[in-house]
Amino acid sequence: MMDEKKPARDWPEKLLTWFDGHKRDLPWREDKPRNPYHVWISEIMLQQTRTEAVKPYFNSWMERFPTIHDLAEAEEAEVLHQWQGLGYYSRARNIHKAAREMEETYGSRLPDDKAAILALPGIGNYTAGAILSMAYGKKEGAIDGNVLRVYARLYQVEEDILKSRGRKEIESLVEATLPDRAGDFNEALMDLGADVCIPKNPRCSLCPLAGECVAFRNGKEKELPRRSAKKPPKEEAAACGLCIREGRVLLHKRPSKGMLASMWEFPMALAEKEEDAKKGLEQLLSGTTEDCLWTYKHVFTHRIWHMKAYPVKEVAVPEGEYRWFSPEEYREIPLAGPHARLAAFVEKMVD
């Protein structure tokens, strides 16, 4: 007789059977055996980004950097430019640093030892588990948000999954249920969480584990998992200057550390209020702003920019890293996040 408080022991096999017939067709899964480099890059790209959005970035990346050696040989600006649009640019920098370490230490290959992988820049427990299980066939878990959600419902975990106690409970459950086909199992959990056991309205009628799920059995599938409320993001007004001379636009290189480090942007001033941001831009460029030509709301993890772009008259170029670029030139440099969208708009003006 099945224990009403937990799933049947054979649920991992049921999930793998479902996965064998329903796995998603993804470009980083095409290699047989799996390419560790492809697993690594795809998993970093998939952090905070939808799978469908990642596909073209992954394909473009592999065309430009087909091997770890090619990546290690590239300049940082080229790597950042290739990453442009994915956000979280520190991840691209860490990928580049890790590639150079692998070039020097491991002959341009990803090590198959957990401690060695974890020592590389930008690789944590989840990514290490994904590489080791999917590419090297090792019995390692890979716990991401999808896995936390599936296990919280499957075992009706009432603890907050974002806090230590709840996460440790799920880590213990993953360790206890991990089958020999760990790589396929980890991907099956990800696919189930992405397509069926989704956050707000889980598609329980499609789930191969509905009969095993304790939360579903008790009508709690929409209540779980429990997550502590996030602090609302800080909202800022961002005034951007459109300075155009003889078909060239003025851009600024951000500092080498901090948010969007070393990326290029249009001259910009931030403030709590729109008028203060606009005044700050005029002071920065010692010029006069005209009517706004472009607006955009860009959402980061912890802040929101309400962006407006203004043509600026009688510009005095500030001290620091400011340069004039033609459209042909700024297409080849890493533009900071939403400034790439503004560049596309400005390009039409320049033409």
CATH number at residue 166: 1.10.340.30
* Together in a domain, 205 and 248: no
Is residue 159's pLDDT more than 80?
yes
* 189 and 286 part of one domain: no
Check pLDDT > 90 for residue 228. no
Its pTM stands at 0.85
Specify whether 200 is located in the same domain as 59. yes
Helix (H) or strand (E) run with residue 270 in it: strand 268-271
Does the annotation mark 76 as catalytic? no
State residue 54's pLDDT score.
96
Task: Tell me the pLDDT tens digit for each residue of 45-58.
Answer: 999 889 999 999 99
List, as own/partner pairs, every contact residues 84-90 make where C-beta atoms lie below 8 angstroms and the sequence separation is at least 24, other chains included. 84/334, 84/335, 84/340, 85/57, 85/340, 86/45, 86/49, 86/54, 86/57, 87/48, 87/49, 87/300, 87/337, 88/47, 88/48, 89/260, 89/261, 89/263, 89/334, 90/122, 90/261
pLDDT band at 2 (very low <50, low <70, confident <90, very high): very low
- pLDDT on residue 152: 97
User: What token pair was written down for 192?
Assistant: 């189930």
The whole-number pLDDT of residue 281 equals 97
pLDDT at 350: 66
**103 pLDDT band (50/70/90 cuts)?**
very high
> Is residue 1 scored above 50 in pLDDT?
no
How many domains, in total, are found in the chain?
2
pLDDT of residue 197: 98
Buried b (16+ CB within 10 A) or exposed e, 262-289: bbbbbbbbebeeeeebbebbbebbebeb
pLDDT digits (tens, 9 = 90+) for 60-70: 999 999 999 99
Question: Confidence band (pLDDT; 50, 70, 90) for 205?
Answer: very high
For the cut 80, the answer to whether the pLDDT of residue 276 exceeds it is: yes
- Is pLDDT of 38 > 80? yes
Same structural domain, 175 and 251: no
Give 81-93 pLDDT, tens digit per residue: 999 989 889 999 9
- Per-residue burial over 33-54, b if 16 or more Cβ lie within 10 Å, else e, is ebbbbbbbbbbbbbbeeebeeb
What is the structure's pLDDT at 4? 60
Q: What is the pLDDT of residue 8?
A: 87
Euclidean distance between CA atoms 62 and 78, whole angstroms: 14
Asked if residue 187 and residue 42 are part of one domain, the reply reads yes
The answer, yes or no, to whether residue 347 has pLDDT greater than 90, is no
Please give the angle made by the CA atoms of 186, 187 and 192, to the nearest 5 degrees: 100
Q: Is residue 88 a part of any domain in this protein? A: yes
Average pLDDT score over residue span 6-29? 95
Share of the chain above pLDDT 90, in %: 86
Residue 143 to residues 125, 126, 187, Cα–Cα distance (Å): 8, 6, 10
Decide if 290 is inside a domain: yes
Domain CATH code at residue 316: 3.90.79.10
**Amino acid 256: pLDDT:** 87
Average pLDDT over the chain, rounded to an integer:
94
Q: How far is CA 177 from CA 163, 210, 305, in A?
A: 22, 17, 44
For residues 240 and 211, membership in a common domain is answered with no
Q: What is the mean pLDDT of residues 181-204?
A: 96
Residue 3 clears pLDDT 80, i.e. is over it: no
Its domain, for residue 184, covers 11-217
pLDDT of residue 87: 85
| Domain annotation covers residue 322 | yes
Question: What confidence tier does 153 reach under pLDDT thresholds 50, 70, 90?
Answer: very high
Number of residues written out for the chain: 351
173 and 24 assigned to the same domain: yes
Is the domain of 213 the same as that of 314? no
**Which of 125 and 350 is assigned the larger pLDDT?**
125
- Identify the active-site residue in 4, 30, 43, 246: 43
Look at residues 190, 217, 244 and tell me which one is the last residue of a structural domain. Answer: 217
Q: At what angle do helices 164-177 and 145-154 cross, to 10 degrees?
A: 80
